[in-house]
Structure 1
Amino acid sequence: MRESRTNLVGDLLLRLERTGEGLLHERVKRALRTAIREGRIEVGTALPPSRQLAADLGVSRWAVTEAYGQLVAEGYLEARTGSATRVRWSGGAGADAARRAPHRVPEVRFDLAPGLPDLRAFPRRRWAEAVRSQVTTVAFSEFGHPPAGGHPRLRRLLAEYLGRSRGVSATAEDVTVCTSVTDGVRRMCQVLRGQGVTAVGCEEPGWTRLREVIRAAGLETVPVRVDGGGLRTDELAGRRGLRAVLVSPAHQFPLGTVLAPERRAALLRWAHDVDGVVLEDDYDAEFRYDRRPVAALQGMDPSRVVLFKSLSKMLSPALGIGWVVGAARWTRELSAAQPSPLDQLAFAELLESGGYDRHLRACRKRYRVRRDALVRALGESLPSMPVSGAAAGLHLLLRVPTDVDTGRVVRVAGSRGLLVADLAAYHDTEDHADHGLVLGYGNLADGVVGEAVRVLREAVEKGLSLS
């Protein structure tokens, strides 16, 4: 891949949609992405400093830095400490070809990207039967607008299910149905802002998209470091004015750590002392392999913890079903978008019939076998690179030497049909020593594990030779 070593670009013409839908930083992002995909900005080109581009476009510097950050997470840009932000996405056929024909994304042969369950294992028959049952048996009134907060039957069944499977303490009235964890966090942040909360502590590193929606809601994100024991709760004490923190205690993304018992207690003491709230992302909690189940933090103090969950990692993100569990003090003003009433009732049918539990048990066995095969293959092909965070969930962390260019590894792997993620993409600060690759195995076909690791090894070798 040819890389341009040009100086910082001077004038950059962007077709910014002044009247387009969406937030300003989203319009800046779309304009930059379009310019890159059309080949008007070549791979390796250094973009203007955020202050300069903001002045040229007549927007805030924050809008540009947000756009840059999101495009880094999407793989279009590359940011390095002490250097300019450069374009790293390439259509492969040159700018002229990109203008003449739509960009052809390389075929995905091996999906090692985090964030998806096994889409091949979606329970099509059970879901179709549940939908058919509801369509043919529910009262005609169910075809109207869904009740506020979600269908009462689903809210009741979720409260019961979460109580027995996750140790959650809640009634149906404490459950609000939404479309995703992202949707729930966004709307909760709007409520918190109305209650005078101005900032949310976020795990560093952590899930990039959730930081984005917190900022889009007008709140500041405050990085709080994560280590082998989970969130560094000792760092909360010195953050004056901080009254909310977002945490994934059961299986942290991307490091895969579990919040230590003493830190769980310390986190709840902090929330009590500052009259604050803990936003619990119950990430990957159902899938555990080499350790005992960890109960939800919410069950320890329902008055101080609001729990978020969705079917994105359990069944499919396409269903658009999630939920928020919290005391009325925090959630009474929560108005969440809702999935289709029929989909809510179909999921309620799966819960009540035991079909959802059976699906999770089958997936847990499948993922454990797949994880074992992946860890074994990594040990054989990349023996000097340790694996961590593999005791639960659908991803693990491969630690690589610091002289390996992980950004280049991701690009080389992508050109060969292998999706992987750079750990650096999930950091919000430059003050970190983590260096590695995040490997998801939820949507990886069992029969290609060995071949996927061979392609990964070749990409790592490329990253090492040109670092």
Structure 2
Amino acid sequence: MAESWVNSAERIGSDLHLDLSGGGSRRAALIRALRTAVQDGRLAPGTRLPPYRSLAADLGIARNTVADAYAELVAEGWLTARQGSGTRVAERAAPPPGVRVPKRSAAAARPVHDLVQGRPDTGSFPRTAWLAAARRALTAAPNEAFGPGDPQGRFELRRALAAYLARARGVRTTPERIVVCSGFAHALRLLFGGPGGGAGGGVLRGPVAVEAYGLGFHRALLDAAKVRTLPLALDEHGARVEELADLPGPVRALLLTPAHQFPTGGPLHPGRRSAAVDWGRTRGGLILEDDYDGEFRYDREPVGAVQGLDPERVVYIGSVSKSLSPAVRLGWMVLPEHLVDAAVTAKGEREAWASVPDQLTLADLIDSGHYDRHVRRMRQRYRRRRDHLVTSLAERAPHITVTGIAAGLHAVLRLPPGTEASAVKAAAWRGVGVEGLSDYRHPAAPAGERDGLVVGYATPPEHAYAAAVEALCEVLPPPSGGRGNRGGAGDDSSPSGV
């Protein structure tokens, strides 16, 4: 017998493949196979091996042969044997030869005070509600839910989303217009193709007009799909959509964050929302609406989705990355009717699907009202955090203007011109994870004089938040040419008004 599988109930219920080929006696072959399993890392330090009798029975060899092999490996230091504890793989100070242990780079190390935007408080995930929803959903699910399904997404979730988005975001849709995906990035890949874009290729073509400040990762996805992006200038009213006509070439799509411009903050002015829709109607263009944190509004009435103005000219995209967790890979596209089939084809018949149990769980969470309750609870928590940040800055750095705080999970701290790079460097030395505003500027957009820090106040755990804000205040640049005016940033600069 050249090879065998060890399948002993006494060995913590695990299977172990041992190669007894290679010539020589059974004792030598067993020693060689066990030594190789330890070297390869398949037998981890501390693993208890089967008793002689069990392993001998599994391999069809004599008990004394196993005992001799164990004794030899104990003598060599590969195994340890203690009365009452059995035979175990030795605890080795160095990693087994041939096993590569990746080094943790300084760039990959988490900061002491994590104020990087884009992540909710992971400790606030509604574990109990999610578990209860999963139990209810899986108990009620039909058997066919666990077989090959619909790449458009489970109807239960699409129905729940259609009702929720209409109620909470003013979206006009039916379940038939919704395609479930794994988030905004996945939606971009499906719409424009590119690496990992789906079996059927892209649905739309470029060029795409984008806001002058936005997430570089999204621009990189479009670049990978060979889609040209053209920046639109921003001011206190959001993207200057009236400049669309001045952009070179036929612009086919417009990517906006109209409810809360990312990252500078503030909603798109109502006149510009209407102008964007009018552009789409007259030029045959499409608006891609990224509603990345639409649930979180603090000091103003919720701003409804642009999609509600014209469902045939807007692709509305959302996810649970901010409301629940980025680990729950669930998002959605609400599409014009004529794009639904093309989007499903791009998604393909296999693989690029969100987990069906997770879809059913989210549907139950929404239908039961627990999703709304979680969002309301987190809205209150994040508002308290935002107020703490604003109050601390008013006391410690009154020359710093804070914007983008009427909504969302992050704020922008406007800095004196020329101080952004030094502030980011000082923050890194202090262990404060924070990003400069210039990191989000489109490469083709004018540099301007927008120095600032993008501060994610949702990221730290509750117990560590006050210390993170304190550390942030310590690294901010001093006043330059006067103390400044905290109320001078427009209607989105303070928590007291709109």
TM over 0.5: yes
Aligned partner of 1:394 in structure 2 is: 409
Counterpart Cα distance in 2 of 1:463 and 1:185: 42
Map residues 418-437 of structure 1 onto 2, 5 A cutoff.
Answer: 418-429=432-443, 431=446, 432-437=448-453
Could you tell me the TM-score, scaled by structure 1's length?
0.74
Counterpart Cα distance in 2 of 1:458 and 1:305: 44
Matched, 1:443 2:459: yes
Matched-pair identity in %: 40
Aligned partner of 1:93 in structure 2 is: none
Q: CA deviation at 1:420?
A: 0.6
Matching residue within 357, 363, 366 for 2:372: 357
Q: CA deviation at 1:445?
A: 3.3
* One-letter identity of the residue aligned with 1:426: Y
Contact 1:311 1:321 in 2 (8 A): yes
Q: CA deviation at 1:416?
A: 3.0
Matched, 1:103 2:112: no
Contact 2:207 2:230 in 1 (8 A): yes
Q: Secondary structure at the match of 1:434?
A: coil
Residues 56-86 of structure 1 deviation map (CA, whole Å, 9 limit, x = unaligned): xxxxxxxxxxxxxxxxxxxxxxxxxxxxxxx
Structure of higher CA gyration radius: 2
Matching residue within 205, 211, 215 for 1:207: 215
Contact 1:204 1:225 in 2 (8 A): yes
Contact 2:191 2:204 in 1 (8 A): no
Aligned partner of 2:229 in structure 1 is: 221
Q: How many residues align?
A: 365
Q: Secondary structure at the match of 1:147?
A: coil
* One-letter identity of the residue aligned with 1:103: S
Between Structure 1 and Structure 2, which shows a larger proportion of helix residues? Answer: 1
Residues 264-306 of structure 1 deviation map (CA, whole Å, 9 limit, x = unaligned): 1110111111111000001211100110110000011000000
Question: In the superposition, relative to structure 1, how do residues 170 and 196 fare at CA in structure 2: closer, same or farther (>3 Å)?
Answer: closer
Question: In the superposition, relative to structure 1, how do residues 170 and 402 fare at CA in structure 2: closer, same or farther (>3 Å)?
Answer: same
Residues 299-348 of structure 1 deviation map (CA, whole Å, 9 limit, x = unaligned): 11000000000110010000100000011323321133221100000000
Question: In the superposition, relative to structure 1, how do residues 207 and 101 fare at CA in structure 2: closer, same or farther (>3 Å)?
Answer: closer
Question: In the superposition, relative to structure 1, how do residues 256 and 196 fare at CA in structure 2: closer, same or farther (>3 Å)?
Answer: closer
Residues 168-200 of structure 1 deviation map (CA, whole Å, 9 limit, x = unaligned): 110101000000111102211239996673310
Contact 1:193 1:219 in 2 (8 A): no
Aligned partner of 2:423 in structure 1 is: 409
Question: In the superposition, relative to structure 1, how do residues 138 and 330 fare at CA in structure 2: closer, same or farther (>3 Å)?
Answer: closer
Could you tell me the TM-score, scaled by structure 2's length?
0.70
Contact 2:146 2:356 in 1 (8 A): yes
Matched, 1:380 2:395: yes
Matching residue within 95, 111, 115 for 1:112: 115
Contact 2:203 2:342 in 1 (8 A): no
Question: In the superposition, relative to structure 1, how do residues 355 and 194 fare at CA in structure 2: closer, same or farther (>3 Å)?
Answer: closer
Matched, 1:311 2:311: no
Question: In the superposition, relative to structure 1, how do residues 463 and 148 fare at CA in structure 2: closer, same or farther (>3 Å)?
Answer: farther
Q: Secondary structure at the match of 1:284?
A: coil
Q: Secondary structure at the match of 2:226?
A: coil
Contact 1:281 1:309 in 2 (8 A): yes
Aligned partner of 1:234 in structure 2 is: 242
Q: CA deviation at 1:451?
A: 2.7
Matched, 1:144 2:144: no
Counterpart Cα distance in 2 of 1:435 and 1:131: 46
Q: CA deviation at 1:447?
A: 4.1
Q: Secondary structure at the match of 1:236?
A: helix
Aligned partner of 2:356 in structure 1 is: 341
Contact 1:126 1:355 in 2 (8 A): yes
Counterpart Cα distance in 2 of 1:100 and 1:346: 36
Aligned partner of 2:261 in structure 1 is: 252
In the alignment, structure 2 segments of 5+ residues that lack a partner are 1-100, 481-498
Q: Secondary structure at the match of 1:201?
A: strand
Q: CA deviation at 1:140?
A: 2.2
Counterpart Cα distance in 2 of 1:207 and 1:438: 12
Contact 1:252 1:283 in 2 (8 A): no
Q: CA deviation at 1:110?
A: 1.9
Contact 1:397 1:438 in 2 (8 A): yes
In the alignment, structure 1 segments of 5+ residues that lack a partner are 1-98
Counterpart Cα distance in 1 of 2:221 and 2:130: 31
Q: CA deviation at 1:254?
A: 0.5
* One-letter identity of the residue aligned with 2:155: P
Q: CA deviation at 1:225?
A: 1.2
Q: Secondary structure at the match of 1:396?
A: strand
Counterpart Cα distance in 2 of 1:443 and 1:182: 21
Q: Secondary structure at the match of 1:145?
A: coil
